[in-house]
């Protein structure tokens, strides 16, 4: 897609729009190049609360087209989303209008064919006229918006300085002597400083503008030490970076979410900057949501993203974040925009995770062996207990169970670990008995839940073992300590082995 470069070779504003869908409704998402979050995908419509009597009117005048459908879109996350669509008439004019206002943010016009687009700013404007030749998008004229005057002024300045910087960069790489290299380096630094100074002047003189929102969102904190020499230098760099990461970005400003750079900044912060311990994440996101409560769109965007990010966490123990989000926000009716199906999905997932969080004492399992003899989990005395739910007809189980048994016999058993093995499907009892005999895993505690036991649990409306242990696939593996507290879950046998080695080494120390 052809697009305008906002900051030449330095910063890119636009993101691609592909496979946009024609729609007569406003605020319908496009088929964008990056998938939207699950909660946001269904809830883009109605993101704003229109004010009574508000409206918008955007008139596009273009000599490039005399027909075809054009789109008025807005940036959100990594996507372009359709605000409105209309037909260009034979005079090259397209009119977008709606009864609700256009919330502040970065918008885009997508020309017919969906491969040419340019961005513009919207703040409090209600009527905007755009003169745009798709063959000359550097010289778009926008009337009715002071924000875009500043935006275009900045574009022109950056295009000029960016070009000069690129020239000096190329000249520097081809310099044949030190004097020339130094000269080109000085020139490059000079143009770069002028660009930075120009940016800072906008932040100083127009602090409430959309330009300031954009520049602050893209700004990176300075490092205290460009070449850290000690561990403390590195630690100070990290602490300073984290402390100033959100400088200039307001979580009470709904305009921020309608930009292409807020979501990547949010993702980077929670995936790379914040410590990945659940307690650290919970404390941080609670503070962000508290700030955002006065800004409905920001609050909604954040809670949706946090929910999607941690409903299936990437790291062991982070399911506690999702359970916290459910208990503090969703279960208390603080996400009313979600439909019944979404709320049900969140509730079900939270209840599946609540009783098997890291550090929680595992629920006792009252099950029987193949002869019908009771073999409760808590009767198994061991320094470590590996609880595995599996199915003898499951392909992955057939691969993992022999490997687990091999490392168990070679190492784990001698360190006081025992295995409590649960058949996940009581319809497979015969296959399970045959498998245990054939693979000689009879020294495991092999148990299952009879149909009568299963019915008794259901009739009593008690949670079954699948909910208690979050058994949604097989094999599901949990590691318990001597007191039957959960210390590891959903790990491969290699990860388990590494984890146990660490535990055993800690005992030696």
For 115-147, how does the pLDDT look when each residue is reduced to its tens digit (9 = 90+)?
Answer: 899 899 998 888 999 999 999 888 889 998 888
CA distance 384 to 484: 8
For residue 54, name the pLDDT band (cuts at 50, 70, 90): low
The two tokens of residue 213 are 């929102």
The alpha helices in 12-145, defined as continuous H runs, are 38-43
* pLDDT score of 375: 97
Q: Are 85 and 24 in contact (CB under 8 A)?
A: yes
Return the SS3 of 86: strand
The two tokens of residue 351 are 């209840």
Cβ contacts of 177 within 8 Å, gap of 6 or more: none
* pLDDT score of 99: 84
* pLDDT score of 414: 94
For residue 461, name the pLDDT band (cuts at 50, 70, 90): very high
Is the domain spanning 377-508 CATH 3.40.30.10? The answer is: yes
* Extents of the domains making up the chain: 2-144, 151-218, 237-354, 377-508
DSSP 370: T
CA nearest to 27, candidates 53, 10, 46, 7: 46
User: Which residues make beta-bridge pairs with 56?
Assistant: 98
pLDDT digits (tens, 9 = 90+) for 293-304: 999 999 999 999
Is the domain spanning 2-144 CATH 2.60.40.1110? The answer is: yes
For residue 79, name the pLDDT band (cuts at 50, 70, 90): confident
CA distance 426 to 404: 22
Q: Are 165 and 9 in contact (CB under 8 A)?
A: yes
Q: Are 466 and 478 in contact (CB under 8 A)?
A: no
Cβ contacts of 25 within 8 Å, gap of 6 or more: 45
Return the SS3 of 126: coil
Query: Looking at per-residue confidence, does 267 or 10 come out higher?
Result: 267
| Max CA distance (Å), the chain | 89
CA distance 182 to 91: 55
CA distance 86 to 23: 9
CA distance 116 to 2: 5
CA nearest to 419, candidates 399, 394, 393, 400: 400
The rounded percent of the chain whose pLDDT value lies above 90 is 71
The CA-based angle 228-232-235, given to 5 degrees, is 85
User: What is the average per-residue pLDDT within 174-184?
Assistant: 89
Would the pLDDT of 5 be above 60? no
Sheet with 93-98, strands from edge to edge, namely 93-98, 56-61, 127-131, 141-143
CA distance 42 to 44: 6
Neighbours of 132 (CB within 10 A): 22
CA atoms in the 13 A half-sphere facing the CB of 339: 10
């Amino acid at each position: 897609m052809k697009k305008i470069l906002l900051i030449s070779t330095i910063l890119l504003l636009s993101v691609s729009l592909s496979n946009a869908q024609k729609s007569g409704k406003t605020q319908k998402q496009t088929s964008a190049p990056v998938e939207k979050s699950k909660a946001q995908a269904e809830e883009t419509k109605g993101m704003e609360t229109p004010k009574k009597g508000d409206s918008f009117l955007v008139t596009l005048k273009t000599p490039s087209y005399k027909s075809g459908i054009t789109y008025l879109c807005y940036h959100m996350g990594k996507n372009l989303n359709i605000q409105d669509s209309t037909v260009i008439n034979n005079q090259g004019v397209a009119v977008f209008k709606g009864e609700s206002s256009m919330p502040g943010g970065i918008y885009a016009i997508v020309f017919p064919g969906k491969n040419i687009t340019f961005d513009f700013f919207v703040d409090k404007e209600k009527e905007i006229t755009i003169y745009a030749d798709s063959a000359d998008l550097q010289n778009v004229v926008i009337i009715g918006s002071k924000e875009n005057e500043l935006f275009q002024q900045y574009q022109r300045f950056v295009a000029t300085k960016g070009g000069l910087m690129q020239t000096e960069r190329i000249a520097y790489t081809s310099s044949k002597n030190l004097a020339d290299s130094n000269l080109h380096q000085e020139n490059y630094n000079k143009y770069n400083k002028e660009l930075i100074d120009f940016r800072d002047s906008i932040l100083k003189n127009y602090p409430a503008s959309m330009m300031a929102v954009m520049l602050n969102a893209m700004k990176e904190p300075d490092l205290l030490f460009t070449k850290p020499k000690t561990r403390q230098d590195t630690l100070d760099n990290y602490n300073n970076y984290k402390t100033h990461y959100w400088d200039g970005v307001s979580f009470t400003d709904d305009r921020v979410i309608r930009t292409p750079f807020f979501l990547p900044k949010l993702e980077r912060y929670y995936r790379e900057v914040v410590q990945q311990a659940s307690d650290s994440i919970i404390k941080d996101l609670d503070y962000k949501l508290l700030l955002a409560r006065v800004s409905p769109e920001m609050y909604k965007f954040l809670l949706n993203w946090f929910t999607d990010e941690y409903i299936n966490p990437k790291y062991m123990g982070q399911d506690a974040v999702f359970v916290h989000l459910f208990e503090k926000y969703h279960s208390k009716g603080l996400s009313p925009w979600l439909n019944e199906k979404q709320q049900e999905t969140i509730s079900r997932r939270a209840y599946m995770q609540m009783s098997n969080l890291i550090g929680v004492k595992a629920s006792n399992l009252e099950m029987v062996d193949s002869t019908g003899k009771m073999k409760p989990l808590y009767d198994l005395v061991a320094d470590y207990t590996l609880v595995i739910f599996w199915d003898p007809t499951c392909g992955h189980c057939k691969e993992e169970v022999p490997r687990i048994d091999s490392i168990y016999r070679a190492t784990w058993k001698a360190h006081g670990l025992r295995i409590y093995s649960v058949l996940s499907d009581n319809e497979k009892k015969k296959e399970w008995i045959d498998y245990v005999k054939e693979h000689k895993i009879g020294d495991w505690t092999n148990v299952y839940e009879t149909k009568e036991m299963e019915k008794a649990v259901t009739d009593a409306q008690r949670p079954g073992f699948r909910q208690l242990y979050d058994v949604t696939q097989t094999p599901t593996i949990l590691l318990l300590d001597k007191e039957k507290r959960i210390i590891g879950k959903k790990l491969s046998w290699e990860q388990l082995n590494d984890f146990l080695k660490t535990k055993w080494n800690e005992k030696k120390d």
